[in-house]
Amino acid sequence: MRLLGIIDALRTHCAWTRRLTHASLVEYLVEESYELVEAIEDARPPEEIRGELADVLLQVVLHASIAAEHGSFDFADVAEELSDKMVRRNRHIFAADGSLLGDYPDSIEEIVASWDAAKRAEREAPGTAEGSAFNPLQSLPRHLPALSLADKALGRAARWEAARTGAGGAGAPARRRAGGRVEPDEPQLADEDQLGDHLLELVALARERGWDAERALRGAVTRFTDDVTRALG
């Protein structure tokens, strides 16, 4: 691949690129990821999205190049790891040997349940580092913005509850565990715009009272995940 040769040359001959490390690249990875998100959400032209994807890919290639220099792994290993994972996790599409099954589900719920079951099987397999009981919140990326973190925590807990009980629509049990209750004066929100306005009002209230809204929500998610972990024993 031409790109790998270019990055190898830069790591060899460019003093700035040569000094990059996994740690020093983190800020660029975050920045480039958000620039891609912005381009998608703003519906920018395809060539701009392509450019932002290229910038994200650069981060992957740089990390792989640094690892290769230390004898850990290289870009081909990363690609192979992803290939194996996609086959393993998408067992509603692939057989264990990577061949296509030939008959595929149409239900999104069935597909998500299959993915979650495959992920759970990996974590519960004997000899794995993560060991016995499956915790659906264990692998949550803690550096996500608080709203995204909260949404993912509730979503994973809801799907786990549905798989455990065989019941659909498990959002309500997850919400109760998080301490939420449906009160008579609960705001009636018709769409995402109204939800956004309501969230902005909550942030304004937090500012008036000297509270940190990000920290408050992150703390609530931590308490919620702790509750789920205790429930799992």
Q: Which long-range contacts (CB under 8 A, 24 or more apart) does 28-37 make?
A: 28/59, 29/56, 29/59, 32/56, 32/58, 32/59
Number of domains comprising the chain: 2
Residue 153 in any domain: the answer is yes
pLDDT digits (tens, 9 = 90+) for 92-120: 999 999 999 999 999 998 898 888 888 87
Residue ending a domain, among 23, 54, 89, is 89
Q: Which amino acid is at 122?
A: E
Query: Contact 153/221 with Cβ under 8 angstroms?
Result: yes
The model's pTM:
0.69
* Residues written for the chain: 233
Residue 126 in any domain: the answer is no
Q: Please tell me the number of Cα atoms within 13 Å of 94 on its side-chain side.
A: 14
Q: What is the CATH number of the domain that holds 12?
A: 1.10.287.1080
What lies within 8 Å, CB to CB, of 136 at 6+ separation is 116, 120, 156, 157, 159, 160, 228
Residue 94 in any domain: the answer is no
The verdict on 225 and 146 lying in the same domain is: yes
Residue 154 in any domain: the answer is yes
Pick the closest to residue 11 from 55, 50, 69 (CA basis). 69
Quote the pLDDT of residue 140: 77
Give just the sign of the alpha carbon dihedral 63, 66, 72, 74: positive
Looking at the DSSP bridge assignments, the partners of residue 100 are: 94
The verdict on 76 and 13 lying in the same domain is: yes
pLDDT digits (tens, 9 = 90+) for 195-217: 999 999 999 999 999 999 988 99
Residue 22 in any domain: the answer is yes
The verdict on 140 and 85 lying in the same domain is: no
The verdict on 212 and 141 lying in the same domain is: yes
Residue 199 in any domain: the answer is yes
Residue 64 in any domain: the answer is yes
The verdict on 72 and 150 lying in the same domain is: no
The verdict on 227 and 149 lying in the same domain is: yes
Which domain covers residue 144, as residue numbers? Answer: 135-232
pLDDT digits (tens, 9 = 90+) for 35-91: 999 999 999 999 999 999 999 999 999 999 999 999 999 999 999 999 999 999 999
CA separation, residue 101 to residues 32, 69, 117, 121, 176 (Å): 37, 39, 17, 20, 39
Tokens of 108: 């999104």
Query: Contact 103/97 with Cβ under 8 angstroms?
Result: no
Residue ending a domain, among 55, 74, 89, is 89
Residue 123 in any domain: the answer is no
The verdict on 154 and 225 lying in the same domain is: yes
Give the DSSP letter of residue 31: H
Tokens of 85: 């994972």
DSSP states of 86-136 as a string? HHHH-TTTB-TTS-B-S-----HHHHHHHHHHHHHHHHHSTT-SS-SS--T
Quote the pLDDT of residue 73: 97
The verdict on 84 and 146 lying in the same domain is: no
Residue ending a domain, among 89, 121, 150, is 89
